Structure formats: C-alpha cells, structure tokens
Amino acid sequence: MPRLVGDAARVVDTGELTIDELAGNVATKNDRISIAHVKITEPTSEPWLTLHYDEWMCVLRGRLVLLHGDGESLEVLAGQTVFIEKGERFRPTFPDGATEYIPVCLPAFRPDRCIREEAESVVSTKLQELHGGNHGYQQQPVPDSDAPEVLYHMCQKSLWDEAKKAGAAYFPPTFEADGFTHATAVPSRLLDTANHFYQDVDGDWLCLCFRRSALRKLGIVTRDEQAKPVGAKDVDTNSKAFVWPHVFGGIPPQVVEGEFPMLRQGRVFAAIPGLTDVPARVFKLATASEAKQFAEMQQILSQLDAKDGFVHLSDARAVRTVAARFFGDCKDLILLEIDPERLPKPLTWLHGTMGDAEPDDARQSASSVLHYLRPDGCIHVYGQPVPYTAVTRTETVALGQDGHGHVFPAWL
C-alpha cells in the first residue's frame, strides 16, 4: 500500500540557490534514489562535477547550460530533461537566474559520489554536514558498486619497458613507501599530478589504461580513497577534493589495454593524445532512409562505410562541413549524436591528419579504433561495429529558407 516516507528537507540555501531534497539520504534516509527541487534566482554556476551516479535534470522553468568535453556546451530549456551518465565530467551553469529544475539521482546523491572541483565552499560544507561529515568537505571512499571500471596510471616509459621485457608486474618506484600503486579514473588529472610531482624527472612518460575487474581476477584489489602522498611529497590542494583509486599491488602487463605517450613542452606535461584531447560526442550524418536502416540493423554502417572498411564519423566542428560537401541539398538529413564511450571496449584513439594511411592492423583489431583526423575533424572507426545503442540523440536537419544550406540545432 502507499506510504509516506519523509518530508522535504532544505539542504542548501546560498541566497541565489536553494535545494530542497524530496527523497534521499537526508529527507527520507534512503540511499536508493534522490529527488530534489532546485531554485536559482540569480545567475550563478556550479564547479566542474564528476558523478558516481546517473542523474536526470528535469527543467521546470528557465534554462541551464551544461559545459562538458573540450569547450562544448548543451542548453536545456523548460520542459526538457537532460541525462548525465555516471562518470561524466560537466559543469552546470545558470546564465539567467529564474530557473527551477528537478534532479533525480540513481543511486542517491551523497557528497562522496559527487566530485566537486573546488576548494571548500558553503555548499560543499553544508552537504557534508548533512551527510554525516565533521571535517568540512572531505571525500569518503566510494563503494565498489559505484567504482569506475577503467583506470589510468602514469609511469616512466623505461621502467614499463623493463617490466614488459621481464614479463613481470610493474611497480612504481614509490610502491614500498606508499604501499600501493596510484591511479585515476580521469586521465586529465594525470597532467596535474605529473606537473606537481614529476617535472624534474627526465625521460619519456606513458599513461597506462587498464580495468579494475582485470586486476581483481588476478587477486589485486583496488580501493577508492582520499588523495595520499607520493613517496615523501604531499599532494596538492586540488587533489584533496577527489577520490583516487589505489591499486594494492603492481600492474601486470597482461591487463594493460592501452599505452598513451604523455607529451611535454620543456618540462611541463601538456597533453595525453588520445585521452585528454578527444571529443566527448561524435556525429553521423545520414539520409532518413539510412538512419532507418541503422535502427533496424542496430548498427551504424552505410554503403560508403561498408565500401571503405570503416565508419565515417566527425566531431562537432566538422558536421557542417560534411553536410555541405557530401549532402548538399538533401531534404531529409538526419543528425545522429553518438557517445564514443558506448562503443565496444577497449577504445583506442589514434591521432592523425587527412591523407594518413589507415592505422596498422586497424581492421583486425578486437577493440574500437577511432582514427581522429585533425584539423578536419573526421573520425574513422575501425574494428568492432558501431552499435546503434551508442546513439544518444537524433534530429532532423532542415534546409534553410532558400533551399540551400542546412540549419543545425542549437545544441550542436
């Protein structure tokens, strides 16, 4: 029978932003789901967030703009609902004020499940107090059920090559002092780590990609904990706001799915090609009949794709160029938005420029190989088929009033 489970609880009130929790760990003492009512009266924004839960934001009034990826944004208007998948990094902004929305989180919101890239604030301190904290905003370990699966570790290339040659597990130089191998689920954070700890260490460095489950099969446990020193050097202030995976053992070569060189400008670590500079969204243009066929086949593969031996995609910047060059006056053009993280794993991003030869052994790869050709913005996908389940949104793209040039949606 229906039953009352609790009352609304005011969990945040900054003057320009209020949050009333309707269900969740505070209002109903239940960790299964949280539902809240958020009101914004003045223009404001949240810090960058990384969630360890799925969240739906249902906008009732006004609008919000979500920043994500590499300078990308998504506008969400009144009456619309946006979905943010667990593990995504984004920043909610409220440019106009006068906005209300209902966030639904599964499992329920907790401060340790919402990684806020900020120093201590009124909001974070209040949330921590309500959820049982007593030391300001400090991340608590994330339960295994919420733990990110894909992990990354940076190491000196020479040490990694030695481990592979010996057929032995790799252990970082500070393992004996630390008692574990440091890792992260967010590759971009390795650049901050590298520049804090290793600018004075010469030589080439790699970012290794592996899976928590692969380590566990070998008896190696990973725990998500607060940031801890590396050897004798303490972490920086920003790192203390995050939860970090700590691998209690070495990294056996057989679990590593990818090796990504870390680029340096002088002594500064600047980028990890294939990890820190790839689009969070990719796109496919198709005629209406092609799009219908994709849905029926449950995979994206046009006649041109089949002929060329790879799937043609593009980043957001290249969509209009592709439409003008290849679809001209097409009256039934369909834009498909694709989440590359939903492609068969492991994912391997390779960088190049238009005219490059196809990657070695790309067609025989067991993974999804995405050859990102810049500055053109074209992406060629080799290996496994692109499943239709990777499509996150489709929209018809109409021709302009003069019958030429397509009018793309504002969210692109």
Pick the CATH number of 282-407 from 3.40.50.2000, 1.10.10.10, 3.40.50.300, 3.20.170.20: 3.20.170.20
User: pLDDT over 70 for what percent of the chain?
Assistant: 90
Model pLDDT, residue 31? 82
Second-level CATH architecture of 144-271: Alpha-Beta Barrel (3.20)
More confident of the two residues 72 and 9: 9
Half-sphere exposure of 177 (CA within 13 A, CB side): 10
Residue 111 · residue 128 · CB < 8 Å: yes
What mean pLDDT do residues 342-356 have?
A: 80
> Dihedrals φ, ψ of 82, to 5°?
-115, 145
pLDDT interval class at 83 (50, 70, 90) = very high
- Average confidence score pLDDT of the chain: 86
* 144-271 shares the fold of 9-130: no
**Cα torsion angle, 412, 288, 343, 303, sign:** negative
pLDDT digits 0-9 by tens, 181-228: 999 987 878 888 899 999 999 999 999 999 999 999 999 999 988 889
Q: Which residues contact 123 (CB under 8 A, 6 or more apart)?
A: 12, 14, 17
Segment among 31-45, 215-229, 302-316, 336-350 with least mean pLDDT: 336-350
Q: How far is CA 256 from the centre of its chain?
A: 20
The sheet that has 99-106: what strands, in order across it?
Answer: 9-13, 17-23, 34-40, 99-106, 54-61, 81-84
pLDDT interval class at 136 (50, 70, 90) = very low
pLDDT interval class at 145 (50, 70, 90) = very low
Q: Is the pTM of this model over 0.75?
A: no
Domain ranges of the chain: 9-130, 144-271, 282-407
User: pLDDT over 90 for what percent of the chain?
Assistant: 51
pLDDT interval class at 60 (50, 70, 90) = very high
What mean pLDDT do residues 42-71 have?
A: 88
pLDDT digits 0-9 by tens, 7-25: 899 988 888 889 999 999 8
The domain 9-130: what is its CATH number? Answer: 2.60.120.10
